[in-house]
Structure 1
Amino acid sequence: MAWDPGFGDWVQDHLSDLGPFEIKRMFGGAGALKGGAMFAILSSDTIWLKADDALAAEMAEEGAERFEYGPPERRRTLPYWSLPSAAMDDPEQALSWARRAVEVALRPKPARKRKKS
């Protein structure tokens, strides 16, 4: 993942109607956070939005790809999907997807069950 600060500026401009959000450098890329929750991963020239199963299915129908990393023999995935290409040129579409990603990111996490010893 390579990070270009100019891309971060472009993302903040493209999603400006989302209201204030923070971009933090991490792992060679960056994360976009709103309300303390990371709703997007930014790398190279791709916006990866956090998605639950329902949002992921809709994004996949629009040609989005799931975020993957690691060597081929130990490939890992995260619940982030690329912003559909049509939305890269359309701030209204991008904003709609991003708002839904923020909703997913801000949802309370289910409590983990403790293992009995």
Structure 2
Amino acid sequence: MELPSISARNNGSRIIDDLSKALNSDYDGCLKVLRQEFKSYGRTFRTASFAPASSLNADITRLYEANRLTIIRQLHYSEKNENSLDITILINAIPVITIELKNPMTG
């Protein structure tokens, strides 16, 4: 795949737009994008790799080991106000879990 030459055109904004559409789609959605793929520029992009059944295929094992799990505390998502998510868990930069923390003393 020629990702560097693709991302040079439009600064990769079309790839981001296509990913965003797939994540927000009723048909695709976050789970399908993570488990399978999304398409952009007529190509298929995988966003995550899952544990291989065996370690016989080194390429698949490397892809699985390259996954990144990120936990962010207080993720601000708006430029217009101070709205934020208390905890966000991301897999390869795709948010998959958000957590709102509550204080029992203040409600």
Answer yes or no: same fold by TM over 0.5. no
TM-score where L is the length of structure 2: 0.25
Higher RCO structure, 1 or 2 (CA under 8 Å, sep 6+): 1
TM-score where L is the length of structure 1: 0.24
